[in-house]
Amino acid sequence: MTIQTAIDALATLLGDGLTRSKSDLDLHGRSESHFLDCPPDAVAYPVDTAQVAAIVQNCADHACPLIAWGTGTSLEGHSLAVNGGVVVDLSRMNRLLAVNAADMDCVVEPGLTRVALNTALRHTGLFFPVDPGADASLGGMASTRASGTTAVRYGTMRDNVMALEVVLADGRIIRTGSRARKSSAGYDLTGLFVGAEGTLGIITELTLRLRGQPMAVAAAICAFPDVESAVAAVTATIQMGVAVARIELLDTASVAAVNAHSGMSFAVQPHLLLEFHGSDAGVEEDAATFGEIAADHGGTGFARATQTEDRNRLWKMRHDAYYAILASKPGHRAIVTDVCVPVSRLAEAVAETQDDIAASSITGPILGHVGDGNFHAILLIDPASAADRTAAEGLSHRMALRALRLGGTCTGEHGVGMGKLGYMAQEHGTAWDVMGSLKAALDPAGIMNPGKVVRG
Amino acid sequence: MTIQTAIDALATLLGDGLTRSKSDLDLHGRSESHFLDCPPDAVAYPVDTAQVAAIVQNCADHACPLIAWGTGTSLEGHSLAVNGGVVVDLSRMNRLLAVNAADMDCVVEPGLTRVALNTALRHTGLFFPVDPGADASLGGMASTRASGTTAVRYGTMRDNVMALEVVLADGRIIRTGSRARKSSAGYDLTGLFVGAEGTLGIITELTLRLRGQPMAVAAAICAFPDVESAVAAVTATIQMGVAVARIELLDTASVAAVNAHSGMSFAVQPHLLLEFHGSDAGVEEDAATFGEIAADHGGTGFARATQTEDRNRLWKMRHDAYYAILASKPGHRAIVTDVCVPVSRLAEAVAETQDDIAASSITGPILGHVGDGNFHAILLIDPASAADRTAAEGLSHRMALRALRLGGTCTGEHGVGMGKLGYMAQEHGTAWDVMGSLKAALDPAGIMNPGKVVRG
């Protein structure tokens, strides 16, 4: 009963900051996706780094697994307590510690969410650009190397985390990096912990790069005869150096779902949705350039949205597309896939996936961050139907293998968690063994989020 | 004689590809900076990854140190064979293996230099943006996490290397990453090897991110009454979202040296040199916006350069500033320093450094990539004068400590090598121990570039 011993000690240490109530265990034993529930043995709510370090030290003494928790919005079962143990819920560490406007950076606790951060930043003229859709915690976004619609312009969490404070598996506290914009002073530990999914340590503080709110923003939408034409327009646009801040694809099935759900009347064809950030003249020119490129590729119904209200409606429609797709089959749940390929192979990847879905019993509209070659099929299943689940899992499996065959990755932005563990050996070969060696070096007892990312 | 045994075996393996000639050992035992010469026992010239792996395996069998070598232009003694052993000169692995124009990436061998790459890319409309000044090899640039004048816009090598092939210390060959634009499939091994200075493995292939050649380029120059005003103009420019591709500071002493060397007649005041990349309208607007910001901060003599020839002259002047400074004291050599601080502390860091230099016996003009908070003092010493060397080393030491005190890093872009090893414990604390653990995990025998980056 080493876990029990650890939890007894934690109860003394944390008082009210530790709970074993069934509701709390159930809440922290669920994921937003299709994995089976897996409740932890206790949930700890630390309020500062010292408490996190004390929790980790205590658990290390008793070989008790530790799972860091942000908002629970990850999609690959990252935070499920597959070996039991303690979930460390960081929601009480949610302060914005500093905004350094002159340096365009800020320092936050891991439980702060991205929407809360941007709300707090509104008066500064700065913003944090990474937008994965969900209002995730910034610690969780760093841990899964999240990205989303704006990565084509502003990069992923890899590009926007400058430094971290991390509690290691033995309770030591380290700082990776400084507020300097660049450094070549040794190994990039910040980069190592971003995307490590809590398997190497628990992030307790983040220094984040901020951006100036653009002087002007414009959005546009355009229909295309097929996915190939839309992707060709994307490639041409990026190669021209047009400063797209977002460039999103909705396939025909997604557009149909959006029309039905939001009372829109878009042509039932693949669409690109774009946003441009820059100066007044710059966004005008960029939108006009895209308009010409779109026309060259058979684009029709090109429309601009410069008013904030029109723009917001467009992006609300995009962000709601997931719910529109869910609503298209009442009572169904979604298995959300996530692959990324070189943009030159994107049209092929989407077409093969569409054919595979069409040949199955499953509905699966496709949408994606096509500037990066990243797309998702939203596979709808009747939760009571084993046949549906099997069919969807087969489609998802073939998508991952297809992405690898086309020179891509089995997960563009959702992470490995439990869902993509089975593809790591194939994607990385010997490099996956190297990841295992790094894990063993930093967490020899394997207590940090066991069962994720590396070989078990 | 384990090194000797290794070299005998390598001679059999490589034939002409191994040399022990005095001239070759001497050439590979020098650095471009002030460190004492340190020749290796042999130099190997592999022609492909399989040969690199065979060399490494052989050296691993005999515990023989291995030092990867690009062009030898690093500045902190990275490639000196402090424990003897074999230099692996990658200059024969200098092929451009693939250009994927639609994906805006390319695949290169490590010995290809950045100028050779850009020459080969000229007809594609694409370019590789990282410009550290020297025509370094791309493998070397990755290994030192190089950056330079364009990092403010395009990032450092960290941001522009998508994937690597690496030979590990036991001869295993791994691939880190794919050609997908983003991935969250596990630990960021690419980021770990970029900046590792050959201490974790030898890079044998790089996949690099390319950019579209901008439609329009404009340059500008402006004098300022003091460094504080210049830096304030930099901060305002970046916060306004002006798309500067370069923003460089030359202090008064640097401008005086440039005037004398290049027959220029710039006002003997601090100057900013800028470059803007974008659309025709965009660069016009950006340059005009900068002109207004400069005027608000006491800038005078603002001048544009839109013609390629004028622009090239301006940047040649900037790139030649180092030689202009050297020429200002015939017979002297330079100790080049390299620190990076948050931009909000830059004016303070430069002013304190200028005061320290003024109080010494040394001449030391300052120039820097101020958009990133990174600057260099070029400390001129009489190579025969022990007093000069002592004074310069004292100034360099105090610069590093000052950067750390101001929240920065002891090396912005030159790397650790031997020169910055003494600051690693202070800069990173326990995180330096973590770097040591990673090194021990991947190179337990310590044969990869020993004496660099981590605790010896």
Find the mean pLDDT for residues B330-336: 93
The pLDDT of residue B77 is: 92
From chain A, the residues in CB contact with B196 under 8 A are 187
Task: Give the separation between CA B196 and CA B193, rounded to whole angstroms.
Answer: 5
Outline where DSSP puts E strands in B117-236.
126-127, 161-168, 173-176, 201-209, 211-212, 216-223
B340 and A413: CB-CB below 8 Å?
no
Does A137 lie at the interface with B, CB-CB under 8 angstroms? no
Return mean pLDDT, chain B. 95
Contacts of A115 (CB under 8 A, 6+ apart): A135
Nearest-by-CA chain A residue for B147 = A182
Interface subset of B 359-388, CB within 8 angstroms of A: 371-374
pLDDT tens digit sequence for B373-423: 999 999 999 999 999 999 999 999 999 999 999 999 999 999 999 999 999
Q: Are B137 and B109 in contact (CB under 8 A)?
A: no
Q: Are B46 and B53 in contact (CB under 8 A)?
A: no
**pLDDT band with cut points at 50, 70 and 90 for residue B73:** very high
Q: Residue A192 is nearest to which of B192, B235, B440, comparing CB atoms?
A: B192
Interface subset of A 340-359, CB within 8 angstroms of B: 340-344
Q: Residue B183 is nearest to which of A282, A411, A442, comparing CB atoms?
A: A411
Interface subset of A 55-114, CB within 8 angstroms of B: 100-105
Q: How far is CA B44 from the centre of its chain?
A: 24
From chain B, the residues in CB contact with A429 under 8 A are 174-175
Q: Would you say the C-alpha torsion A176, A181, A187, A188 has a positive or negative sign?
A: positive
B344 and A102: CB-CB below 8 Å?
yes
Which of A314-318, B322-326, B348-352, B445-449 has the weakest average pLDDT?
Answer: A314-318
B120 class by beta-carbon count within 10 Å (0-12 exposed, 13-18 middle, 19+ buried): middle
From chain A, the residues in CB contact with B429 under 8 A are 174-175
B182 and A412: CB-CB below 8 Å?
yes
A241 and B279: CB-CB below 8 Å?
yes
Which of A7-21, A392-406, B159-173, B295-309 has the weakest average pLDDT?
Answer: B295-309
pLDDT tens digit sequence for A78-106: 999 999 999 999 999 999 999 999 999 99
The pLDDT of residue A225 is: 97
From chain B, the residues in CB contact with A285 under 8 A are 279-282
Nearest-by-CA chain B residue for A142 = B184
Q: What are phi and psi of A268, to 5 degrees?
A: -80, 75
User: A14 to chain B nearest CA, in Å?
Assistant: 26
The pLDDT of residue B147 is: 96
Q: How far is CA A438 from the centre of its chain?
A: 23
- pLDDT over 70 (residue A1): no
Q: Count CB neighbours of B71 within 10 A.
A: 20
- pLDDT over 90 (residue B214): no
User: A233 to chain B nearest CA, in Å?
Assistant: 11
Written as six digits, the tokens of A169 are: 């598996």
Q: Residue B186 is nearest to which of A180, A235, A428, comparing CB atoms?
A: A428
Interface subset of A 257-286, CB within 8 angstroms of B: 277-282, 284-286
The pLDDT of residue A118 is: 98
Residue type, A205: E
pLDDT tens digit sequence for A363-410: 999 999 999 999 999 999 999 999 999 999 999 999 999 999 999 999
ipTM: 0.96
A181 and B374: CB-CB below 8 Å?
yes
- pLDDT over 90 (residue A316): no
pLDDT tens digit sequence for A171-189: 999 999 999 999 999 999 9
Beta-bridged to residue B100, according to DSSP, are: B105
The pLDDT of residue B4 is: 94
From chain A, the residues in CB contact with B431 under 8 A are 174-176, 189
User: B301 to chain A nearest CA, in Å?
Assistant: 25
Find the mean pLDDT for residues B164-174: 98
Does A36 lie at the interface with B, CB-CB under 8 angstroms? no
Picking from A254, A265, A290, A253, the residue whose alpha carbon sits closest to that of residue A275 is: A290
B159 and A159: CB-CB below 8 Å?
yes
Return mean pLDDT, chain A. 95
User: B427 to chain A nearest CA, in Å?
Assistant: 8
Interface subset of B 403-422, CB within 8 angstroms of A: 403, 407-416, 420
Beta-bridged to residue A276, according to DSSP, are: A218, A244
Distances (CA, A) of A146 to A130, A132, B256: 8, 6, 49
> How many cross-chain Cβ pairs, A to B, lie less than 8 Å apart?
307
Q: What are phi and psi of B231, to 5 degrees?
A: -65, -40
- pLDDT over 80 (residue A238): yes
A427 and B178: CB-CB below 8 Å?
yes
- pLDDT over 80 (residue B89): yes
- pLDDT over 60 (residue B81): yes
Task: Give the separation between CA A151 and CA A140, rounded to whole angstroms.
Answer: 17
pLDDT tens digit sequence for A105-158: 999 999 999 999 999 999 999 999 999 989 999 999 999 999 999 999 999 999
Q: Residue A282 is nearest to which of B158, B168, B285, comparing CB atoms?
A: B285
Distances (CA, A) of A392 to A257, A399, A415, B125: 19, 10, 19, 42
Does B389 lie at the interface with A, CB-CB under 8 angstroms? no
Q: Residue A435 is nearest to which of B175, B187, B240, comparing CB atoms?
A: B187
Does B24 lie at the interface with A, CB-CB under 8 angstroms? no
Nearest-by-CA chain B residue for A179 = B342
User: B431 to chain A nearest CA, in Å?
Assistant: 5
B278 and A282: CB-CB below 8 Å?
yes
Does A42 lie at the interface with B, CB-CB under 8 angstroms? no
pLDDT tens digit sequence for B230-286: 999 998 898 887 879 999 999 999 999 999 998 888 999 999 999 999 888 888 888
Q: What string of DSSP letters covers A290-305?
A: HHHHHHHTT-EEEEEE
Does A179 lie at the interface with B, CB-CB under 8 angstroms? yes
The pLDDT of residue B242 is: 84
- pLDDT over 80 (residue A233): yes
- pLDDT over 90 (residue B35): no
Q: Residue A187 is nearest to which of B213, B280, B438, comparing CB atoms?
A: B438
User: B248 to chain A nearest CA, in Å?
Assistant: 15
From chain A, the residues in CB contact with B180 under 8 A are 340-342, 372-374, 403, 407-409, 412
Query: Mutation test of the interface with chain B: which of A49, A121, A183, A369, choosing the one with the most B Cβ atoms within 10 A?
Result: A183
From chain A, the residues in CB contact with B343 under 8 A are 102-103, 181
Distances (CA, A) of B246 to A140, B83, B315: 34, 40, 10
Picking from B325, B348, B343, the residue whose alpha carbon sits closest to that of residue B335 is: B325
Q: Residue A212 is nearest to which of B147, B176, B241, comparing CB atoms?
A: B241
Determine the Cα angle at A155 with ends A153 and A159, to 5°.
145
Nearest-by-CA chain B residue for A186 = B453
Specify the residue for token string 């002013």.
Answer: B351
Does A428 lie at the interface with B, CB-CB under 8 angstroms? yes
Domains of chain B: 2-89 (3.30.43.10), 96-212 (3.30.465.10), 214-321 (3.30.70.2190), 329-421 (3.30.70.2740)
- pLDDT over 70 (residue B1): no
From chain B, the residues in CB contact with A424 under 8 A are 185-186
Q: Residue B156 is nearest to which of A182, A186, A411, comparing CB atoms?
A: A182
Percentage with pLDDT > 90 across chain A: 88
Find the mean pLDDT for residues A6-33: 95
